[in-house]
């Protein structure tokens, strides 16, 4: 395999991977009989977690966010009607790992989580993939130019 093909393949793979990583958001289905939904994220100062919940029946939702030391940063309970949608946001004041819990009190729900990064580190693979792809295309162009200049004719004697 030529080096240019390796860079082209790597660049395209990184670009598609970054597209799926950045744009693919799968909602989480919370079963009413399951325990509290818990998840976490490493966040820098200024990053924001957006949590969007749609419940099937009337319930009281409980949101709790803890820092990496286990200290409760924010806790809130909200009464929600059947089929209603609730959105809550949390902004990190300091860097660290934050754990968030959502308790639906025995009601089925659908949960969408989005993390808004302040530094846009999750967009770094896009220029990296574009750099690999453009370098691979440049190498292919250079190889094509040198191949056409040094064409050798050969005579075959049978």
150 has a pLDDT exceeding 60: no
Q: Cβ contacts of residue 28 below 8 Å, gap of 6+? A: 37, 110, 111, 112, 113
Cβ–Cβ under 8 Å, residues 98 and 66: yes
Domains delineated in the chain: 3-140 (2.60.120.380)
pLDDT at 51 over 80: yes
| Highest averaged pLDDT of the listed ranges 2-6, 105-109, 133-137 | 133-137
- In the chain, the N- to C-terminal Cα span, in Å, equals 32
Query: What is the pTM for the complete model shown?
Result: 0.71
Angle, alpha carbons 61-64-68 (nearest 5°):
160
């Amino acid at each position: 395999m030529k080096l240019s093909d390796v860079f082209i393949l790597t660049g395209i793979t990184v670009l598609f991977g970054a597209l799926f990583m950045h744009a693919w958001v799968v909602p989480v289905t919370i079963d009413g009989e399951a325990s509290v939904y818990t998840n976490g994220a490493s966040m820098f100062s200024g990053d924001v977690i957006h949590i969007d919940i749609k419940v099937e029946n009337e319930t009281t939702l409980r949101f709790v966010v803890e820092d990496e030391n286990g200290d409760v940063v924010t806790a809130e309970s909200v009464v929600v009607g059947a089929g209603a949608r609730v959105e809550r946001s949390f902004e990190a004041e300091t860097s660290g790992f934050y754990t968030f819990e959502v308790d639906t009190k025995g009601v089925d729900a659908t949960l969408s989580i989005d993390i808004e990064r302040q530094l846009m580190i999750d967009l770094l693979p896009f220029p990296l993939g574009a750099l690999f792809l453009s370098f691979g295309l440049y190498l292919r162009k250079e190889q094509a130019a040198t191949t056409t200049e040094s064409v050798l004719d050969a005579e075959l004697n049978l």
